[in-house]
């Protein structure tokens, strides 16, 4: 069992026991309803593929598909389980699913990548659809791959079903605001925490691990919404850049797209450190927008931030979270903090089913209207029960899933 699956299942057991559920009920919930393990061919080679459908109690399965050489069945099961918790935590009428293929997509030609995507969708056609299971993009998949999958699925199905996949390109029924949704959701959740503590106009500092799509949009939207907060460090897989005077992520030599850190004007004279130094930097808020297990029992003691925002899935391990909680370091948990992506996927599905196309303001306003009450309820439960935000979020979700 990989660490993410172990961490997810341990958190569920603690929360479910606290709610009074016995081991038999918990064991049954932890088991996925269906596991699809198969092979997909591309360029004459077969690649192991998975789709785990964890829980459909609240609605159709929902979850991304990742193409990565480190994909495993345990990882996919962990992410499907966490998606069940995440959708329940923010009160969406959806269940949890996840998919993956063990492949390095960089080694494939564009034609082979399309063959892989279409083969994956074709195999799963009997098991997915807008009323069954609604996949979306994840690591190394994007709107073009979703478009290919939807096209293949509809060919096999023999009819149109645009809500069967989300994260599509705009001309295929994608939603405004989808690209920025996870980052925007993180800002909404952090903003609620800051408002509750009257910190929105304080000169706080932020260190950001991960500057891909999620990290960039989080930083850009935070900069617009909370100008008093200063981004002072950015890390990717190679380096950490420290710039105490602040980093404007919109000041770049490539304004037409999300930049790499090297392309930000404010980082030209920044101090360059090893990548993992971001965890130990002095900042008020540490945002984890890269990969799982970024903060472990080994480096948790070096964390200096008072608040951690989990924008990645499982970036703080179970043992690290215990250490941080004892030190009164606040963790805004992934199942709420990074739920913006699945929330706007749900809004895309709603638009597809209704044959509508919403403008970006309506999407963003609806996203906030879903996340804000869920975040406030998590805060209230944590305070009333004297428990961590993560446990409060898990308990709220499990109350809906097990009740």
Catalytic machinery residues: 98
CA distance 240 to 335: 26
CA distance 51 to 392: 29
Cα 366 vs. chain centroid, distance in angstroms?
Answer: 18
Cβ atoms within 10 A of the Cβ of 116, count? 24
386's CB contacts (< 8 A; 6+ apart) are none
Instruction: Report CA-CA distances (Å) from 316 to 262, 294, 339.
Output: 27, 6, 16
In the sheet with 45-55, reading across from the earlier edge strand, the strands are: 34-42, 45-55, 96-102, 61-68, 133-137
The three-class DSSP label of residue 241 is strand
Helical spans, DSSP H, in 282-359: 318-326, 334-337, 340-354
In the DSSP assignment, the letter for residue 295 is: B
CA distance 220 to 225: 9
- Whether the Cβ atoms of residue 230 and residue 204 lie closer than 8 Å to each other: yes
Write out the two tokens for 235: 């890390």
Instruction: Report CA-CA distances (Å) from 205 to 219, 310, 330.
Output: 12, 16, 15
Provide the pairing of β-strand 45-55 with 34-42.
antiparallel
């Amino acid at each position: 069992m990989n660490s993410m699956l172990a961490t997810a299942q341990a958190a569920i057991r603690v929360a479910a026991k606290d709610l009074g559920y016995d081991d038999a009920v918990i064991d049954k919930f932890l088991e996925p309803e269906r596991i699809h393990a198969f092979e997909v061919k591309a360029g004459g080679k077969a690649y192991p593929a998975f789709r785990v459908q964890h829980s459909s109690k609240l609605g159709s399965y929902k979850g991304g598909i990742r193409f990565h050489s480190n994909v495993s069945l345990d990882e996919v099961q962990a992410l499907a389980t966490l998606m069940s918790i995440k959708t329940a935590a923010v009160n969406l009428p959806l269940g949890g699913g996840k998919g993956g293929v063990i492949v390095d997509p960089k080694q494939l030609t564009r034609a082979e990548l399309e063959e892989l995507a279409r083969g994956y969708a074709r195999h799963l056609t009997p098991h997915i659809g807008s009323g069954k299971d609604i996949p979306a993009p994840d690591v190394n998949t994007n709107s073009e791959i979703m478009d290919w999958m939807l096209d293949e699925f509809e060919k096999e199905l023999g009819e149109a079903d645009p809500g069967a996949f989300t994260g599509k390109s705009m001309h295929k029924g994608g939603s405004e605001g989808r690209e920025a949704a996870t980052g925007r959701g993180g800002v909404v959740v952090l903003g609620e925490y800051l408002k509750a503590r009257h910190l929105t106009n304080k000169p706080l500092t932020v260190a950001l691990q991960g500057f891909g799509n999620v990290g960039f949009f989080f930083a850009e939207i935070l900069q617009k919404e909370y100008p008093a907060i200063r981004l002072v460090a950015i890390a990717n897989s190679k380096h950490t850049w420290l710039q105490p005077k602040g980093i404007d992520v919109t000041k770049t030599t490539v304004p037409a797209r999300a930049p790499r850190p090297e392309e930000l004007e404010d980082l030209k004279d920044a101090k360059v450190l090893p990548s993992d130094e971001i965890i130990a930097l002095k900042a008020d808020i540490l945002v984890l927008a890269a990969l799982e297990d970024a903060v472990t029992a080994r480096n948790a003691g070096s964390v200096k931030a008072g608040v951690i925002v989990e924008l990645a899935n499982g970036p703080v391990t179970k043992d690290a979270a215990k250490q941080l909680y004892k030190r009164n370091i606040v963790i805004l948990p992934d199942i709420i903090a990074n739920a913006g992506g699945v929330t706007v996927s749900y809004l895309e599905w709603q638009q597809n089913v209704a044959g509508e196309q919403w403008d970006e303001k309506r999407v963003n306003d609806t996203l906030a209207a879903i996340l804000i009450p869920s975040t406030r309820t998590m805060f209230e439960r944590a305070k009333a029960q004297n428990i961590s935000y993560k446990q409060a979020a898990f308990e709220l979700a499990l109350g809906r899933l097990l009740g």
